């Protein structure tokens, strides 16, 4: 059986059996998929960037947990790393869906063709918009990543899948004007939920802050654009 139809091919670098913050208004478990092609300076899971990590959790062990918790947990979230890089993702989502779980996805949208494949399985998406789409490389270090993100977000908006767009603020890379551009772009695409997130230095764990977080007038203006707006400070 090929990896794309066998969930056992999913490379998992971490598994959290219970979370109340990774899927809105639901009790969930979260899978951290191994591997991400982006090199974001503020990445808080750098150990998940390599395609093969130092540890691997077997899908069969996760599936056993999901079977035991079916009816007690509401959702299963696929995070990363970047889940869309794995060909076994559709099979893993299907297996969880059959157990009655809502399916959540945390993604950068780097692979719109694979996102299109899993659209029928998704119940909610947390989508990272790194920067204005034409300036993505300043954050990701990967040419063309902004256009792929734009394509993926367009797919989600057209499919009317509940989606929270979130932008993480790394001072010196995403400023007030860029955030204005991002919010205007995603609003025009039909997104109704937006979060501004504070970055944490991956080396020191110190929150980076930034002028955006100290400007209540600006934040109020952003909040007025969306039906749901969240200011998410680093805990």
22-50 pLDDT tens trace: 999 999 999 999 999 999 988 888 899 98
Angle subtended at Cα 144 by Cα 229 and Cα 119, rounded to the nearest 5 degrees: 55
CA 49 – CA 150 distance, rounded (Å):
22
Cis check for the bond before 113: say yes or no (omega within 30 of 0): no
Residue ranges, the chain, pLDDT below 50 = 1-4
Name the token pair of 99.
């157990």
pLDDT of residue 5: 54
Report whether 6 contacts 91 (CB < 8 A). Answer: yes
Residue with token string 């059996």: 17
CA 208 – CA 190 distance, rounded (Å):
30
Domain range 3-232, its CATH number among 2.40.33.10, 3.20.20.70, 3.40.50.410, 3.30.1360.200: 3.20.20.70
The region that residue 172 occupies, defined by phi over 0 for left and psi between -120 and 50 for alpha, beta otherwise, is left
Q: How many residues does the chain have?
A: 235
Domain ranges (residues) in the chain: 3-232
Q: To the nearest 10°, report the CA torsion of 75, 165, 188, 211.
A: 160
pLDDT of residue 4: 46
CA quadruple 168, 173, 178, 182: dihedral sign: negative
Q: pTM of this prediction?
A: 0.94
Closest CA to 75 of 140, 26, 133, 128: 26
């Amino acid at each position: 059986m090929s990896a794309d139809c066998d969930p056992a091919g999913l490379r998992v670098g971490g598994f959290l059996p219970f979370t109340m913050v990774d899927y809105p208004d639901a009790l969930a478990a979260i899978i951290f998929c191994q591997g991400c092609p982006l090199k974001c300076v503020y990445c808080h899971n750098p150990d998940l960037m390599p395609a093969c990590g130092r540890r691997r959790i077997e899908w069969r062990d996760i599936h056993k947990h999901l079977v035991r918790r079916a009816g007690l947990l509401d959702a299963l979230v696929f995070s990363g790393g970047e889940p869309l890089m794995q060909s076994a993702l559709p099979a893993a989502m299907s297996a969880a869906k059959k157990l009655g779980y809502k399916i959540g996805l945390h993604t950068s949208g780097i692979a719109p063709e694979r996102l299109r494949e899993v659209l029928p399985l998704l119940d909610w998406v947390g989508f990272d918009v790194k920067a204005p789409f034409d300036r993505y490389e300043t954050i990701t270090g990967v040419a063309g990543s902004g256009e792929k993100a734009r394509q993926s977000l367009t797919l989600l908006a057209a499919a009317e899948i509940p989606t929270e767009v979130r932008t993480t603020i790394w001072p010196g890379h995403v400023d007030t004007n860029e955030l204005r551009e991002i919010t205007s772009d995603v609003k025009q695409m039909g997104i109704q939920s937006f979060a501004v997130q504070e970055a944490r230095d991956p080396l020191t764990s110190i929150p980076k802050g930034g002028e955006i977080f100290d400007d209540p007038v600006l934040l109020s203006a952003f909040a007025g654009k969306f039906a749901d707006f969240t200011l998410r400070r680093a805990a």
